[in-house]
Amino acid sequence: MSQSRILNAAEASRRHGVLAGTYAAAIMHADPLADAAAEALHPFHGRWWPMVLKALEEGIAAVPDAPPELVALIASLPPQPTPEAWAKMELGRAAVARAGDSAGLVLQCASLMIDYWSPPAMKPLVMTGTLKQDTIHRLAQTAAWWIELHRPGGLHSKQDGYKTTLHVRLIHAFVRRMIRGSGTWDRAAWGEPINQADLFFQVVGFSKLMIDSLRRMGYGFTAEEKEGYFLFWRHVAALLGVEKALLPSVNETDCGRYWDLWMLTNPGPDAEGIALARTTLDAVAGAGNPSAPMRRFHVWLMRGATYWLLGWNVGQALQIPWSQAGHFLPLVYKPAIWISEAFSKWRGVDRGEAAARAIAKLARGNAAFGIVPAGTQVVSAPERLEALAKFKPGTPAS
C-alpha cells in the first residue's frame, strides 16, 4: 500500500470499512494485460493501432503477426451483455445523452475538473505535458470519446465508442511504459501511474458525478435510468481495464462512498493542479476564438458552473476565482430545464430520439474545435486516435 498518498487512513477505514482497504490496495495496481500488450506493440510503432483495429473488426485470426500479448488482451475483453442488459444500458445512456450541451458543461466543469484534486493522480498528465501543451485538443478528444460512447448503440463491439475505449486503455499503458522508463516515478509515494484507484475515480466522475450534476441542473432520472447508466459505465470500466474486483462497485451507493474516500484521503490540489484547473477553464472559454467580451463571459460562466457543480470547498481549493454565475446559474438554469423537460413530456418526445439529436449537436460543437472534423468518425483516422493523449511512445528504457 502507498502510505504517503493516503491521508486520514483510520477515519477512512472507520467510515468505509473494506472499501477503504480495497481502494488503498488499488493504488498499487495497474493493468498488467494492457501493459504487456503495449510492450509487445511498441516495436510496431505507427502500425500498432491499425493492427488492433483489424483484430477488433475482423477477429484476432485476421492478424497473423499479432503478438501473443495482444491475443491475450483481446481474449480478456468483457463479453457482450445480454439483450436485457443492453436494454437497461441504452435506457440509462439515452437519459443522460439527451442533456447534450448540459452534459458537455458537466464534463468541462466537473467530471474532468475534479481530477485536479489529487497531485499523485495528476502526475502522469504533468509528466507527459498533455494539458499544458495542447489543452483544448485533449479536452475535445476526451469529449469526442464521450460522444462516441453515448451515440445510440455506441458501446457495441463494432462501434467507435467501444473501439476508442480500448484505444484509451492502450494509450494509458503506453504512458505508464514511458513514465516507468523515465526513472523519475516514485511508486512508493504515488502508487502506480494511472492506477486502478485513480482509474475507478474517473469512472465515478463520468457516472455518479454526471448524474448528480445533471439532477442539480434540473434533469430528472427514474430509478431504472440511473441503474441502467451505472450498468453502462460498469461495462465501459471493464473495457478500460478496471479490475473485476472493483466492477461491482460501479453503482450509485459505492460510487458515492468512493467519492468520499477520494476527498478524504487525497492531499488536495497542489500548484500544478491549480494551474491546470485555470488552464482548462481558460482554454474552453477561448475555444473557437470568440470576441474578447464573449470570452470573458464564458470564463465568468464556467467559473460559476464549477462552484455550482463541485461546491465551494473544491472551487476554493482549486483557487478558481469566484464568479457570481455560481449564484445566477441555479436561479435560471434549473427552471429552464424544468420547463423544457415538462414541455418534452407533454409533447411525448421519445428520450432516445432526443438523445440522438442532442449527441449529434454536441458532436458538431466539438468538431468546431478542429479536432474531429464534421462527419469524421473518431476511429476512422488512426492518427487522430494517436493524438488522444498527445503522446507517442518513446524509445525503450536502456
> pLDDT 10s per residue in the chain (398 long)?
455 689 999 999 999 999 999 999 999 999 999 999 999 998 987 788 889 999 999 999 999 999 999 999 999 999 999 999 999 999 999 999 998 889 999 999 999 999 999 999 988 877 776 555 567 777 777 888 898 899 999 999 989 899 989 999 998 999 899 889 888 899 999 999 999 999 999 999 999 999 999 999 999 999 999 999 999 999 999 999 999 999 999 999 999 999 999 999 998 999 989 988 988 888 888 877 788 999 899 899 999 999 999 999 999 999 999 999 999 999 988 888 888 777 677 666 666 666 666 666 666 666 555 555 443 344 444 444 344 334 433 333 33
Which amino acid, 105? L
| Separation between Cα atoms, residue 205 and residue 210, nearest integer Å | 6
pLDDT given at position 127: 79
Domain residue ranges in the chain: 9-30+79-389, 34-76
For residue 187, report the phi and psi dihedrals to the nearest 5 degrees: -65, -40
Query: Of 245, 206, 252, 246, whose CA–CA distance to 227 is shortest?
Result: 252
Query: Of 94, 118, 114, whose CA–CA distance to 106 is shortest?
Result: 114
Burial class (CB in 10 A: 0-12, 13-18, 19+), 60: middle
pLDDT given at position 385: 39
pLDDT given at position 340: 76
CA 342 to chain centroid, in Å, comes to 30
pTM: 0.89
CA 208 to chain centroid, in Å, comes to 12
Query: Can you give the three-state secondary structure of 189-216, one letter per residue?
Result: HHCCCCCHHHHHHHHHHHCHHHHHHHHH
| Separation between Cα atoms, residue 130 and residue 125, nearest integer Å | 6
pLDDT given at position 373: 44
9: which 3 cell numbers? 487512513
Burial class (CB in 10 A: 0-12, 13-18, 19+), 65: exposed
Contact 236, 210 (CB under 8 A): no
Contact 149, 161 (CB under 8 A): yes
DSSP codes joined into one string, 145-174: HHHHHTSTTTTSTTSHHHHHHHHHHHHHHH
pLDDT given at position 392: 39
| Separation between Cα atoms, residue 227 and residue 217, nearest integer Å | 20
Which amino acid, 313? N
3 state DSSP class of 363:
helix
255: which 3 cell numbers? 460510487
DSSP codes joined into one string, 89-140: HHHHHHHHHTTTHHHHHHIIIIITGGGGG-HHHHHHHHHHTHHHHHHHHHHH
Contact 34, 23 (CB under 8 A): no
User: Cell 476554493 sits at which residue?
Assistant: 316
Contact 148, 142 (CB under 8 A): no
User: Cell 518513446 sits at which residue?
Assistant: 394
| Separation between Cα atoms, residue 358 and residue 364, nearest integer Å | 10
How far is residue 161 from each of residues 143, 176, 245, 378, measured CA to CA in Å?
Answer: 11, 23, 24, 8
Contact 269, 119 (CB under 8 A): yes
Contact 177, 35 (CB under 8 A): yes
How far is residue 120 from each of residues 27, 85, 199, 324, measured CA to CA in Å?
Answer: 10, 36, 12, 32
